[in-house]
Amino acid sequence: MSDQTANGATQKHARVPRAEYRIYFSVIFIAALPFTTAACIADLVTGHETRDPVRRALAEAQRITPHIFSA
């Protein structure tokens, strides 16, 4: 018979309710829109390549929201 306590108990991560995640995601997305729009305008003025401000805001929200829930 093997010793099953040798590896320790595995911990399951608590699942975050989807509604709460979506609320945080949308708040961060809406907050990021003015800043990404300003960054795109600045990129156009300086002659740099620019991406759509909505895509930038989505990328920011996708990057930031998981950090909130991992803490």
Domain annotation covers residue 17: no
pLDDT at 24: 93
Q: How far is CA 20 from the centre of its chain?
A: 13
Q: Which residues contact 52 (CB under 8 A, 6 or more apart)?
A: 40
pLDDT at 2: 63
Domain annotation covers residue 13: no
pLDDT at 17: 75
Per the structure, the count of domains in the chain is: 1
Kindly indicate the confidence band of residue 18, based on its pLDDT and cuts at 50, 70 and 90: confident
Say whether pLDDT at 6 is over 90. no
CA distance 59 to 53: 10
Kindly indicate the confidence band of residue 7, based on its pLDDT and cuts at 50, 70 and 90: low
Condensed to tens digits (0 to 9), the pLDDT of residues 49-70 reads 888 999 999 999 999 999 988 8
Domain annotation covers residue 9: no
Query: Domain limits at 33?
Result: 24-70
The dihedral region occupied by 11, where left means phi > 0, alpha psi between -120 and 50, and beta the remainder, is beta
CA-based nearest residue to 63, from 28, 35, 38: 28
